[in-house]
Structure 1
Amino acid sequence: MSATILVTGADLAPQALALLADFKIVYAGPAPAEQDLVALCRAHDPVAIIVRYGMVGAAVMDAAPALKVISKHGSGSDTIDKQAAQARGIAVVAAVGANAPAVAEQALALLLACAKSVVALDARMHAGHWDKATHKSLELRGRSIGVVGLGAIGQRFALLAAALGMRVLGFDPHAGALPACVQRVSLETLWRTSDAISLHCPLTDDNRGLLNARTLAQCKRGVLLINTARGGLIDEAALLAAVRSGQVGMAGLDSFALEPMAAGHPFQGEKNFILSPHIGGVTDTAYVSMGVGAARNLLAVLDGRVAAP
């Protein structure tokens, strides 16, 4: 009887499924709750879980005695309780870099949409207005972009921003060699001197609420803020106040503290927010790359090429 792999989603790329042909694949659906995952683990006792959506914590792990590896369909593994996994000898792996081009492009799209008033002008045009005589957008060439987090995504975004003629300031205490276009600075310098800021760091206990009332007040007035990383990096109430006061000129966000965003969220209807539903890494190419990366990573653990903790 084939061993089981549980996918916390409704599908997986055919190229990934081909790599996992020797396993039984069980799907949890597009929005699995913890109790759903626990029930599926009890019913199927998977040897591996591919995490697309939902949280995988101790209760899910304890419901699957055969579990050897949890593989993230993407790079951010904050939805997995890594301490609980380590305590149980379960490996946690991630497809780091698989969606880097897609997320970097989404960050650039949000930056351009904020600087060029794309959404507002589109709405005005559809309403029959022609604002050529009264509108001025922001030219990014020559302005400073602060990039927080310089992994695969942050570095790729830095190169895109540099191609626009922007001065790239970067902060990442863990990064090694960087592209020549990136000037390393302290976080305090980045807040103080950037005309726009883009977040590309993983969410940890140490940086939760990294952008808050205090740090937002240190930024240039009218700064553009882009977040395609994790919503927990931002104190959302503080950001709302900063946008309403003009301290933050525009915010382009692809991730939020609680997802999916519920109806009535205070960002909804605010004219200086451009929002997308955490789809930065959701492209045709990234879907395949993340699926294949997740499959290869879990096979490496199950085959003994990567050791469990």
Structure 2
Amino acid sequence: MLQPKRAAILVTGADLAEPALALLSPFDIVYAGARPDEAQLVALCRQHQPVAIIVRYGRVTDTVMAASAGLRVIAKHGAGLDTIDCDAAARRGIAVKAAVGANAAAVAEHTWALILACAKNVPQLDQRMRAGHWDKSTHKSLELQGRTLGLVGLGAIGARVAAIGAAMGMHVIAHDPYAKAAPDGVPLLPLADVIAGSDVLSLHCPLTRDNANMLDAATLATMRPGAIVVNTARGGLIDEAALAGALQSGALRAAGLDSFHEEPMRPGHPFTGIANAILSPHIGGVSTDAYIGMGVAAANNILAVLAGVAEPAR
């Protein structure tokens, strides 16, 4: 007797954590590979007609959604939804879910790795020592105690970054128009005041039409001399040419960047030739624990929507 065909779930990546796969065992899992483009995703949707998509890499556009008539939910393997056409999903009645908080600890820790690397010149000192130099008599790092940490976004990640900053003796200020409350001692201020008042400015907000290039030449010019900029959110929040200019001129001490306008970054990008730009390949949320947590959260979000216990559209 023929077994009924199992419903499919498309993963826009090459793998998924075993605990997530166990939750999704009633489904056929289809992998799109590590760098799927729109044409590949459309072809897979047409072939397998998934009821759900787990988004790791690539973009899920209206064209991709249209290729699967029974698509009911798109679950992000992470927090940011900017790679999903949420407006198109809403029109189609397709739920869009983020794995909120699943990688918060990993991203917050990586944020502090970048802040400290910028303040203490860790990559540059490492390179100098490997070249035979001993800069003890000439080097001066930046002490963070007593300085101001400004956060744009005070969700699960930003709140963790704030707590660490406070523990290090920093003054913490924040901007978040969606925050109903802030940790004790953290004032919520207008965005312009946070940008202008920070010795270390760290971005932890989603990318929207309204905040694209929020750090441009004009806003960067308001920052304190020798300030540090860190971005573990989305590359589109920063005008990269303007930031490169501020770093090269010495207006800013350094920038720690984990996300970029175009990913992967192309060879020859201006940041690769700027010593005080400290770069990582959008891996802030990539840890063993976060990989499992994001996969399990995405799987549970799918199961909740398919079971009818979550709202059907974003």
**Length-normalised TM-score, structure 1:** 0.99
1:112 paired with 2:116, answer yes
Q: Which residue of 2 aligns with 1:72?
A: 76
Of the candidates 2, 8, 29, which is equivalent to residue 25 of structure 1?
Answer: 29
Q: Which residue of 1 aligns with 2:300?
A: 296
Q: Give the root-mean-square deviation of aligned CA atoms.
A: 0.7
- In structure 1, what residue type is equivalent to 2:78? G
Q: Distance in 1 between matches of 2:220 and 2:130?
A: 34
Aligned residue among 217, 221, 231 for 1:217: 221
**What are the superposed Cα offsets for residues 170-196 of structure 1, whole Å, 9 maximum, x if unpaired?**
110101222114222221211221111
Q: How does 1:261-276 map to 2 (within 5 A)?
A: 261-276=265-280
Among 88, 106, 115, the alignment partner of 1:102 is 106
Shift of 1:128: 1.1
Aligned residues: 309
How much identity, in percent, do the aligned residues show?
62
Residues 181-227 of structure 1 deviation map (CA, whole Å, 9 limit, x = unaligned):
42222212112211110000000000000000010011111110000
Deviation at 1:124, TM superposition (A): 0.7
Give the Å deviation of 1:264. Answer: 1.0
Q: More deviation in 186-195 or 94-103?
A: 186-195
Calculate the TM-score normalised by the size of structure 2. Answer: 0.97
Q: Aligned to 2:85, which of 81, 89, 96?
A: 81
Contact 1:216 1:242 in 2 (8 A): yes
Is 1:208 the counterpart of 2:175? The answer is no
Query: What one-letter code is carried by the residue in structure 1 that aligns with 2:198?
Result: S
Which ranges in structure 2 are unaligned for 5 or more consecutive residues? none
Name the amino acid aligned to 1:97.
Answer: G
Structure 1 segments of 4+ aligned residues over 3 angstroms from their partners:
none
Code of the aligned partner of 2:135: D
Structure 2 residue aligned with 1:168, among 146, 168, 172?
172
Please state if 1:245 is matched with 2:266.
no
Q: Deviations over 1:20-50 (max 9, x none)?
A: 0000000000111111100100110000000
1:75-134 deviation line (CA, Å, top 9, x unaligned): 101100000001111110010110000000010000000000000000011111111011
Distance between the aligned counterparts of 2:168 and 2:245, measured in 1? 30
Distance 1:307 1:97 in 2: 19
Question: 1:257 maps to which residue?
Answer: 261
Q: Aligned to 2:187, what secondary structure does the other structure show?
A: strand
Structure 1: stretches of 5+ with no match in the other structure: none
Task: Indicate the larger mover: 9-18 or 187-196.
Answer: 187-196
